[in-house]
Chain A
Amino acid sequence: MNIDRTMNDNELKKMEQESAKLLNLLREVRDEDNTTITPRQCKPYAQKVRRTISPYWLVAASVLGFVLGIAMPRHSSTLSDESPYTLLADTSYTTGRSLAAGDVNFSLLVVK
């Protein structure tokens, strides 16, 4: 049988009237099924949705990071960018500290 043939309203309505008891039972089953899953069980997800970080914040944080990176003084660049002697001079100059105490080991390490 070709179930996809076009059908007029009357045929279906007649069938529905004949199946009234069945459709009532179907609604009972539906109502019973609908209580199986309670919204409370699903609630945590709704809260999880709230915690989603907006992409705007991510972009703003990236831009801020970039700007700070550009604005940082040169002496804070990585060791490989500097000769050991420049680094030593820069460090003692900007911190205003002499090569004493804790700096000594570091300085010696760099000079070596």
Chain B
Amino acid sequence: MKRLTANALSALTDAELMQRIGRGEHAAFDTIYNRYAQRLGGFFLRMLAYDTAKAEDMVQELFARIWTHRREYRSEQPFATWLYAMAYNLCKNEYRHETVRQAYVEELRQREEATDEPTKAMERDELRQRLRQAVQSLPTAQRDAFLLHYDEELTIPEVAHIVGCPEGTVKSRLYAALESVKRMMNEYR
């Protein structure tokens, strides 16, 4: 297979890049890395209660796994589903640290109580913090579906495949999650 420049590689689809990565092409791996590392960093951050160090470790761990399992990827499967399934499984192993999430929610709550009259900019900032807090307060199954669908923009069938449950269940979880987040946000107003 002909070697391509970084520019030419960045024009390729994920599946085409994975085909090259499967043959050990490091430049293609770099392209996939640059395409997804930041986005996945944010995903891990939200999934792991905003633990930055842990999220960075997870991004690295995930890309190491991509490299190790590069030949297992089948092009008929959407790359995002394969990628997020791996990312989600990594997070599931970390769920035993659920206390970290509770601690984060508590920390946000305390920070909010400590704040006096907010300015306009602070209000906006606070609103975002409250939304983070509301999402983190959701039951794990609801939060996972919520983040995968609304933040990572995966379709409902993709989310169902990743979390391993029927599409109807995903929809119910999304509905319940939206309802809860809305309620929590309204309580603050």
Contact = CB atoms under 8 A, between A and B. Distances in A.
Contact of A26 (B42, B59, B151, B165): B151
A71 interface: no
Interface of B: 26, 29-30, 33-34, 37-39, 41-42, 44-46, 50, 52, 55-56, 59-60, 63-64, 67, 127-128, 131-132, 135, 142, 150-151, 165-166, 168-169, 171-176, 178-179, 181-182, 185
B60 A37 contact: no
B142 A39 contact: no
B175 A42 contact: no
Contacts of A39: 33-34, 37-38, 41
A10 to B, nearest CB: 10
A42 B42 contact: no
A26 B146 CA distance: 11
A6 B172 CA distance: 6
A41 interface: yes
Please name the 7 residue pairs, one residue from A and one from B, whose CB atoms are nearest each other, closest first.
A37-B41, A34-B42, A6-B168, A45-B60, A39-B37, A3-B176, A33-B42
Contacts of B29: 46, 49
B69 to A, nearest CB: 12
Interface of A: 1, 3-9, 11-12, 15-16, 18-19, 22-23, 25-30, 32-39, 41-43, 45-46, 49-50
A25 B131 contact: yes
A12 B174 contact: yes
Contact of B132 (A11, A23, A29): A29
Nearest to B179: A15
B41 A34 contact: yes
Nearest to B172: A7
A30 B42 contact: yes
Given A15-B175, A42-B41, 9 more contacts: A3-B176, A9-B171, A27-B150, A29-B132, A37-B45, A37-B56, A42-B56, A42-B59, A46-B29
